[in-house]
Amino acid sequence: MRFHWIYILLLFYVLASACTKTANTAEVKQSPAPVAAAQNVDHELEQRLKTISDGSQGTVGLSVVHIESGKTVSINGSSQLPLYSVYKLPLAVTVLKDVEEKRLRLDQKIHVTPQNVVQGTTANSALWQKPVDYTVEQLLEFSISRSDNTSSDKLVELVGGPLQVTERMRSLGFQNLDIHISSGEFAKTRQNPNTGSADDLVQLLVQLHRGKILQPDQVNLLRGFMQRATTGLHRLRGDLPRGTVVADKTGSGEADAVTKVAKVTNDVGIITLPRGRGHLAMAVLVNGSK
């Protein structure tokens, strides 16, 4: 599955729609032509995206919202698909809600020993070669920016377990984000991963951006961690013009033994569009791509 074309088309969609809307605002009442033109663009884009999704030879869930206008495209967006490390986004929201509700503190020190280490990248494992104390804020940064599994599992423990993340998502109105297993437990079996829908993930991003879920300080903190993410540089970030502001969280499954292609390739995030054209929230979940 090549993300390159999806992101270019989605960016084209938002920019084309915004330009059409701006240029034709005065004429809409006089003529149905601008509305028809916009509908044609929407239909054409949806068909092209569906063609790309079908060509992946896997299952693709895709959802995109232009936050300021609310304009939306969803292809198989309600299907629940494996999240892998994307689950760390709803986990972070759960942690920050607990901070706001005084159950946790960002400066709270958490002790981590080498025995707590969860399988991950060599660079992340190097963080835990000896016993160390990190704050909740630092663990959040490691979890989001570096996708560190050890930090994530410590945070899961702090909020009361993975099911508490699901409960928090339900309380916020997200019915299709199911978090039931930690990174460490999943690593033991590679079975029954956490799942979610592209539609719910995009709405989570939209509501975060609009300040409906967290207070501004917490939103800015999380956004900063996502903007500094070092994972997935060849996904969403790699297919946009240099300097484009992106705040995202990726997720990757293990590679197929024969094709060497990752069985799951996910990316969710918010793109700041150029020249003040707003923000694009998007989620692409790819399962079983060839």
- Would you please indicate which residues are annotated as catalytic (active-site) residues? 85
Distance CA 237, CA 246 (A): 7
279-287 and 59-66 strand pairing = antiparallel
Q: What is the per-residue DSSP string for 262-277? A: BSEEEEEEEEEPGGG-
Q: Is the separation of the CB atoms in 231 and 250 below 8 Å?
A: yes
Cα 288 to Cα 253: distance, rounded to the nearest angstrom: 9
Which distant-in-sequence residues (6+ apart) come within 8 Å of 192 by Cβ? 180, 181, 186
What whole-number distance in Å separates Cα of residue 37 and Cα of residue 67?
Answer: 21
3-state secondary structure of 76: coil
The answer to whether 269 touches 286, Cβ cutoff 8 Å, is: no
* Measured distance CA(283)–CA(199) in Å, rounded: 8
